[in-house]
Chain A
Amino acid sequence: MSEATVGTAAAGVASDTVATSRPAVLGPALKDAVASGIITFLLLLPLVGFRATESGSGPLTLTYRFGLVAVFAAIVVVGRLLLHLTLWRPGRGVKGKAEARPRGALAEAAGAWSGRMIIPAFFLGAIAYPIVSVVLSGGLSPARYWVDLGIYILTYVMLGWGLNIVVGLAGLLDLGYVAFYAVGAYTFALLSTSVPLTDFFAGTLGQDFWPLWSFWVCLPVSGLLAALWGVILGFPVLRLRGDYLAIVTLAFGEIIRLVLINWVSLTNGGVGISSIPAISFFGVPFNADDGGFASLFGVTYDSMHRMIFLYFVILGLAGLTALVTVRLRKMPVGRAWEALREDEIACRSLGINTTLTKLTAFATGALFGGFAGAFFAVRVRFVSPESFTFMESAVILAIVVLGGMGSQIGVAMAAILLIGGMEMLRNLTFLKNEWLFGPDFDPTLYRMLIFGLAMVLVMIWRPRGLISNRLPSIFLKEKKAVSGALVKEGHG
Chain B
Amino acid sequence: MRPWDSDPILLVDHLSMRFGGLVAVNDVSFRVGRGDVTAVIGPNGAGKTTVFNCITGFYKPSAGRLALLKDGPASASEVDAVTASDAAWGRTPAGAVYLLERLPDHKVSSAARVARTFQNIRLFTGMTVLENLLVAQHRALTVAGLVNPVALLNLPSWRAHEKTAVDRALYWLEKTGLVARADDPAGDLPYGDQRRLEIARAMCTEPVLLCLDEPAAGLNPRESAALNHLLMEIRTGHATSILLIEHDMSVVMEISDHVIVLEYGSKIADGTPEEVRNDPRVIASYLGVDEEAVADVAADVNVDLSAEADL
Residue numbers of A with Cβ under 8 A of B are: 324, 327-328, 330-333, 335-336, 338-339, 341-343, 345-354, 356-357, 360, 470, 472-480, 482-483, 486-488
Among candidates B109, B115, B141, B146, residue contacting A357 with C-beta atoms closer than 8 Å: B146
Q: Is B123 an interface residue (CB 8 A)?
A: yes
Q: A335-B131, A350-B201, A352-B138 are in contact. Are A482 and B126 (CB under 8 A)?
A: yes
Contact A480 B183 (CB under 8 A): yes
- B142-171 interface (Cβ within 8 A of A): 142, 146-148, 151-154, 166, 170
A332 lies within 8 A of B118 (CB): no
B49 contacts partner chain A, Cβ-Cβ < 8 Å = no
| CB closest chain-B residue, reference A333 | B146
Question: For residue A339, which residues in chain B have a CB less than 8 angstroms away from its CB?
Answer: 124, 127, 135
Give me 19 other A-B pairs in contact (C-beta within 8 A), A352-B110, A475-B128 excluded. A328-B147, A328-B152, A332-B135, A335-B134, A336-B138, A343-B124, A345-B58, A346-B124, A348-B58, A350-B109, A350-B138, A351-B109, A474-B130, A474-B134, A475-B130, A476-B130, A476-B182, A486-B188, A487-B126
Q: CB-CB < 8 A to A341: which residues of B? A: 126
B18 proximal to A (CB < 8 A): no
Q: Taking CB as reference atom, which chain A residue is nearest B107?
A: A351
* A349-B56, A474-B134, A477-B182 as given contacts; A338 in contact with B152, CB under 8 Å: no
- Give the distance in Å from the alpha carbon of A390 to the alpha carbon of B187 in the complex: 37
Name the distance in Å between A488's Cβ and chain B's nearest Cβ. Answer: 6
User: With a CB–CB cut-off of 8 A, which chain A residues contact B107?
Assistant: 351
A349-B148 contact given A332-B142, A477-B183, CB 8 Å threshold = no
Task: Give bound CA distance, A154 to B135, whole Å.
Answer: 33
List the 4 shortest-distance A-B pairs measured between CB atoms, nearest first: A351-B110, A487-B126, A351-B109, A342-B124
- B72 lies within 8 A of chain A by Cβ: no
Residues of chain B with a CB closer than 8 A to A351's CB:
106-111, 138-139, 205
Q: Which residues of B contact A477 (CB under 8 A)?
A: 182-183
A-chain residues with CB within 8 Å of residue B170 when the two chains form the complex: 476
Is B136 among interface residues, defined by CB-CB distance under 8 A? yes
B185 beta carbon closer than 8 Å to chain A: yes
A339 to chain B, nearest CB (A): 4
Query: Which residue of B has the minimal Cβ distance to A343?
Result: B122
Chain B residues with CB under 8 A of A474 = 128, 130-131, 134, 166
For A338, the chain B residues whose CB sits under 8 A away are 124, 126-127, 131
Determine which of B122, B126, B141, B179 lies in contact with A345 in the assembled complex, contact meaning CB atoms within 8 Å: B122
- Is B184 in the interface zone, CB < 8 Å from A? yes
Complex contacts, B205 vs chain A, CB 8 Å: 350-351
By a CB distance below 8 angstroms, the chain A residues around B34 are none
Chain A residues whose CB sits within 8 angstroms of the CB of B202 once the complex forms: 349-350
Q: How far is the CA of A335 from the CA of B128 in the complex (A)?
A: 11
Q: What is the CA–CA distance of A482 and B202 in the complex, to the nearest angstrom?
A: 23
State the B residues within 8 Å of A (CB): 56-58, 105-111, 115-116, 118, 122-128, 130-131, 134-139, 141-142, 146-148, 151-154, 166, 170, 179, 182-185, 187-188, 201-202, 205
Give the chain A neighbours of B182 by CB distance below 8 A.
Answer: 475-477
Please give the distance in Å from B96's CB to the nearest CB on chain A. Answer: 16
Q: Inside 8 A of B137's CB, which chain A residues have their CB?
A: 332
Complex Cα distance, B142 from A475, in Å, reads 20
Q: Which B residues lie within 8 Å of A328 (CB)?
A: 147, 152
Nearest chain-B residue to A487 (Cβ)? B126
Instruction: Report Cα–Cα, A343/B120, bound state, in Å.
Output: 12
21 A-B interface contacts by CB (under 8 A): A324-B152, A327-B154, A331-B148, A332-B138, A332-B141, A332-B142, A335-B127, A343-B123, A345-B58, A348-B57, A349-B56, A350-B109, A351-B139, A352-B106, A352-B110, A353-B110, A472-B128, A474-B134, A475-B130, A475-B183, A476-B182
User: What separation, in Å, do the CA atoms of A116 and B260 have in the docked complex?
Assistant: 56
Contacts of B179 in A (CB 8 A): 476
Docked pose: A470 CA to B186 CA in angstroms = 13
Q: In the assembly, what is the distance between CA of A356 and CA of B147, in Å? A: 11
Partner of A482, one of B115, B142, B185: B185
Contacting residues, chain B, for A335 (C-beta < 8 A)? 127, 131, 134-135, 138
Give the distance in Å from the alpha carbon of A276 to the alpha carbon of B107 in the complex: 49
B201 CB contacts on chain A under 8 angstroms: 350
A327 to B107 CA separation, bound complex (whole angstroms): 27
Closest B residue, CB atoms, query A356? B146
Whether the Cβ atoms of A488 and B125 lie closer than 8 Å is yes
- Assembly CA distance A480 to B186 (angstroms): 12
A332-B125 in contact given A351-B109, A474-B134 (Cβ < 8 Å): no
Contacts of B152 in A (CB 8 A): 324, 327-328, 331
Contact B187 A486, beta carbon cutoff 8 Å:
yes
Residues of A within 8 A of B153 (CB): 327
- Name the residue on A nearest B132 (C-beta): A339
Residue of B nearest to A478 (CB): B183
Least CB distance from B158 to A in Å reads: 9
Most chain B CB inside 10 Å of its own CB: which residue of A346, A352, A480, A486:
A346
CA distance A480 to B127 in the complex (A): 11
Neighbouring A residues of B131 by C-beta, 8 Å: 335, 338, 472-474
Whether B128 and A482, one on each chain, are in contact in the complex, defined by CB atoms closer than 8 angstroms, is yes
Which of B105, B110, B183 lies in contact with A472, CB distance below 8 A? B183
Please state if A349 and B116 are interface contacts (CB–CB under 8 Å). Answer: yes
Given A472-B127, A474-B166, A475-B130: A346 and B118 within 8 A (CB)? Answer: yes
Chain B residues with CB under 8 Å of A480's CB are: 128, 183-185
Contact of B126 among A327, A470, A478 (CB under 8 A): A470
The CA of A476 and the CA of B165, in the complex, are separated in Å by 12
Complex CA gap A351/B147 in Å reads 17
Chain B residue nearest to A477 in the complex (CB): B183
B135-A352 in contact (CB<8A): yes
List the A residue with the shortest CB-CB distance to B186. A486
A488 touches B183 (CB 8 A): no
User: Which single member of B135, B147, B188 contacts A350 (CB below 8 Å)?
Assistant: B135
Q: Which residue of the partner chain, among A333, A342, A354, contacts B127 with CB atoms under 8 Å?
A: A342
Q: Closest Cβ of chain B: how far from A267's Cβ, in Å?
A: 31
CA A482 – CA B186 in complex, angstroms?
9
Distance of A357 Cα from B170 Cα, bound (Å): 26
Q: Which residue of B has the minimal Cβ distance to A336?
A: B138
- Which residues of A sit under 8 angstroms from B146, Cβ to Cβ? 332-333, 356-357, 360
Question: Which residue of chain B has the shortest Cβ distance to A480 in the bound complex?
Answer: B183
CB distance from A112 to the nearest CB of B (A): 14
**Measured between C-beta atoms, what is the minimum distance from B107 to chain A in Å?**
8
Residue of B nearest to A484 (CB): B126
Chain A: minimal CB distance from B204 (Å): 8
